[in-house]
Amino acid sequence: MEFSRRNFLKGTVLGGTAFSALGFDLAPVYAQTSSLKISRASETRSTCPYCAVSCGVIIYTIGDKAKNAIPQVLHVEGDPDHPINRGTLCPKGSSLEQDILNDRRLLKPQVRRPGATDWEDISWDQAYEEIAQKVKKTRDDTFIEQDANGKTVNRCEGMAFTGGCTDTNEFNYLAVKSMRSLGVCYLENQARV
Ligand code: SF4
């Protein structure tokens, strides 16, 4: 017999009927099969990072408390107890799970050199080194201590910084402090858009 999803389901139902006829109590088995996939997951409350509405979400994970297990996000949904969204999410927020579980997600730094057409993978150490050198050079070249009227301004107009929609509040706090300390005045974050 050809094995198909339909045949498998038919076999399962017929098998269940036969076991019931023999006096086995299948209720616990059925209860187990119909339990939610999130029933044994950890719940973590968080905030949708995509826009300034800041809807509350619950992230369900497994494997984060067991030794030698790889933590895995199972499901993300709106938080029904959150005063802003009361469990609802817009289509962007509803796709949060795909933001986390996505094999197209970049997990290492890449650089496209001047004139190159392809992106090159580089190590984190190399990325930090190159960014630090470029920031230092640009700041040295473009820092303005006084404006045309002789007023002290101490600003760097040669650089701009923009944060991504998935940056946390803590990351943004540090980014603003770091950029202001360099004199960068063009600061923005996509989440404000
Ligand atoms: S769910 Fe939609 S409306 Fe709510 S914060 Fe996310 S992107 Fe904004």
Residues with CB under 6 A from ligand 1: 48, 50-51, 53-55, 85, 89-90, 92-93
The residue with greater pLDDT, 1 or 58, is 58
Mean model confidence pLDDT for the chain:
86
Same-domain status, 8 and 62: no
Q: Are residues 114 and 154 in the same domain?
A: yes
Residue at which a domain ends, from 74, 105, 136: 105
- Residue 32 C-alpha to ligand 1 middle, in angstroms? 34
Residue 70 has pLDDT above 90, yes or no: no
Considering the domain architecture, whether residues 78 and 29 belong to the same structural domain is answered as no
Check whether residue 90 and residue 49 sit in a common domain. yes
Question: Domain boundary residue among 61, 78, 105?
Answer: 105
Q: Which pair of tokens denotes residue 125?
A: 């150490």
**pLDDT tens, residue by residue, 49-62:** 888 788 999 999 98
Tell me, yes or no, whether 138 and 188 share the same domain: yes
Question: Under 8 Å CB-to-CB from 48, ≥6 apart: which residues?
Answer: 54, 55, 56, 57, 89, 92, 93, 96
> Do 98 and 145 fall within a single domain?
no
Q: Which of 46, 47, 53 to mutate to test the pocket of ligand 1 (most atoms within 8 A of CB)?
A: 53
Q: Are residues 53 and 97 in the same domain?
A: yes
Q: Which residue has the tokens 């029904």?
A: 80
pLDDT: which is higher, 107 or 11: 107
Whether residues 56 and 93 share a domain: the answer is: yes
Cα 75 to averaged position of ligand 1 atoms, centre (Å): 17
Domain count, the chain: 3
Domain range for 26 is 1-35
**pLDDT for res 170:** 87
Q: Which one of 46, 55, 88, 168 would you pick to mutate in the ligand 1 pocket, going by the greatest count of ligand atoms within 8 A of its CB?
A: 55
For the cut 80, the answer to whether the pLDDT of residue 3 exceeds it is no
* CATH number of the domain within which 45 lies: 2.20.25.90
| Terminal Cα-to-Cα distance of the chain (whole angstroms) | 58
**Last residue in a domain, options 81, 105, 129:** 105
pLDDT of 140 reads: 97
The single-letter DSSP state of residue 191 is G
For residues 158-169, average pLDDT:
85
Closest C-alpha residue for ligand 1 atom 8: 51
Among 47, 51, 57, name the best residue to mutate to test ligand 1's pocket (greatest count of ligand atoms within 8 A of Cβ): 51
Q: Are residues 15 and 41 in the same domain?
A: no
Portion of the chain with pLDDT greater than 70, in percent:
83
Whether residues 127 and 186 share a domain: the answer is yes
Least Cα distance to 49 among 171, 175, 185 occurs for: 171
d(CA 60, CA 41): 6
Closest CA to ligand 1's atom 2: 90
12 alpha carbon, distance to own chain's centre: 39
What is the per-residue pLDDT for 6?
60
46 vs 58, 83, 93, 168, 185, CA distance in Å?
6, 13, 12, 10, 30
Q: Does 67 score more than 70 pLDDT?
A: yes
pLDDT digits 0-9 by tens, 14-27: 555 555 667 777 77
Identify whether residues 154 and 93 lie together within a single domain: no
Q: Quick one: pLDDT at residue 92?
A: 92
Higher pLDDT, 9 or 146: 146
Same domain, 65 and 88: yes
Tell me the backbone φ, ψ of residue 15, rounded to 5 degrees: -60, -40
